[in-house]
Amino acid sequence: MNIALIAHDRKKELMVELTLAYKLILEPHTLFATGTTGKRIMEATGLSVHRFQSGPLGGDQQIGSRISENKMDLIIFLRDPLTAQPHEPDVTALIRLCDVYEIPLATNIGTAEVLLRGLQEGFLDWRDLRRNEE
């Protein structure tokens, strides 16, 4: 599966902790991330991560483009709802695309853990089945 990992500045350390805790589940998948988040994940975990631009420089839009091309299966976007983001319209557009294309999206650590445990148990295989029908 293609999994995107995104985190606002105040959530980057939490994303690193999440990827360390779930490294064995994430390892067999293709990982994508926005700039700094991807760099920090790679440094901490040794996981291979394809890095896009940072969010404010278009990384959210790059991931959104892959969603619209049916090339993304799961998004973990640890958002900071208490800090204004200069690229908030891009964030909103990314969330909208996940809804339009029925891509599982976690915006907090609790939901991220549920999705990763579901991935481990095979509960997210429906994306592969749907892709094969196209």
Per residue in 59-113, pLDDT (tens digit) is 899 999 999 999 999 999 999 988 877 778 888 999 999 999 999 999 999 999 9
Question: Could you tell me if 77 and 12 are in contact, meaning their C-beta atoms sit under 8 angstroms apart?
Answer: no
Residue 83 to residue 113: CA distance in whole angstroms: 23
pLDDT (mean) for 24-43 = 97
Task: Just list the catalytic residues.
Answer: 60
pLDDT at 57: 86
pLDDT (mean) for 35-43 = 97
Burial class (CB in 10 A: 0-12, 13-18, 19+), 42: middle
- Joined together, the tokens standing for residue 102 give 């029925």
Residue 130 has pLDDT above 60, yes or no: no
Residue 72 to residue 32: CA distance in whole angstroms: 9
Residue 32 has pLDDT above 80, yes or no: yes
pLDDT at 82: 85
Split at pLDDT 50, 70, 90, the class of 26 is very high
Residue 129 has pLDDT above 60, yes or no: no
How far is the CA of 63 from the CAs of 23, 31, 94, 120, in angstroms? 21, 11, 8, 23
pLDDT in tens, 8-22: 999 999 999 999 999
